Amino acid sequence: MNWMDITTKELQAVFISRIIKNGWYVIAGIGAPIPRAGIMLAHLTQCPDLRIIMSDYFVEFLNEEELRDFTSYSDPGLEKNAEYTFSPELRYETARLIDLMFLGGIQIDTYGNTNLIGIGQDFRGLKLRGAGSIGAPSMASLTKRYIIFSNNHNERTFVDHCDFISTVGWHKGGNSRKQLGLPGGGPIYVISPLCIMDFTEDTKQMRLKHLMPGVKKEDVVKNTGFDLIIPGDISLIPPPSEIEIGTLRTRVDPKGLLRI
């Protein structure tokens, strides 16, 4: 195994797959190919009993030799692996069972609060109107935990304060999320192209955990618009095993979409 041969996207998927435990309920979003690859990799390597929700379907892929890519909610191929489907109403009635979901943000702040609404100070004159937050605000307040996944890492995305908050992370830090009384568990990791971050146990500020290969600590600090907590020792993500990378490349991502 040549370590240098692994792409950031592949490593992100491997990291995600290792978090997931057998028997969990997870949501694999259509518009999030890397988290979905991580979920599928976990499913095919160490989580045969994973319950996966994709679009509005409960799906199972264990015997698929090669998984295909999904880009649309209406993809007719989803039904091929579906065992159950539910209405949008029932999504919220099973949300408390969900062990892990993913969401993104056009802004993410130091406490993991995220913004899918828009950028600007005036709501009726936004600089950028976001597409809307779909189900994320309520879903992420109910699920046991979630991961924030960002396709970029710069000062425009990682900001000191979100202009608007569509999903509450650790709110204002400390035990402020708990005081809001939200039933869900909150964000556990933030994954970006530069690094993996988690949150400090007491203040709930975002903290650097792993750097992606070739990325320096300074790169992350420079591209983050708030004071990221930098611990003394920053470990690398343990390299993928032959089984992990083999399964990822031959079955989960046979077209190499994570290698582009």
Using CB under 8 A, list all residues that contact another protein: 30-31, 56, 71-74, 76, 79, 85, 87-89, 91-92, 117-118, 122-139, 141-142, 164-168, 171, 177, 179-183
Nearest distance from C-beta of residue 75 to another protein, angstroms: 9
The total of other beta-carbon atoms located within 10 Å of residue 19's CB is: 17
Judged by beta carbon, residue 50 or residue 142, the one nearer another protein is 142
Q: Which lies closer to another protein via its Cβ, residue 13 or residue 162?
A: 162
Q: How far apart are the C-alpha atoms of 213 and 236, rounded to whole Å?
A: 8
Nearer to another protein, 15 or 70 (CB): 70
Lookup result for tokens 């240098």:
4
* CB of 117 or CB of 196, closer to another protein: 117
Q: Whole-number minimum distance, CB 67 to another protein, in Å?
A: 18
> Could you give phi then psi for residue 202, rounded to 5 degrees?
-90, -55
Q: In the complex, what is the shortest distance from the CB of residue 227 to another protein, in angstroms, rounded to a whole number?
A: 23
Other Cβ atoms less than 10 A from the Cβ of 112: the count is 28
Write down the least CB distance from residue 244 to another protein, Å.
Answer: 27
The phi and psi torsions of 18 (rounded to 5 degrees) equal -80, -20
Which residue in 176, 181, 106 sits closest to 136, CA to CA? 106
At position 206, the amino acid (one-letter code) is M
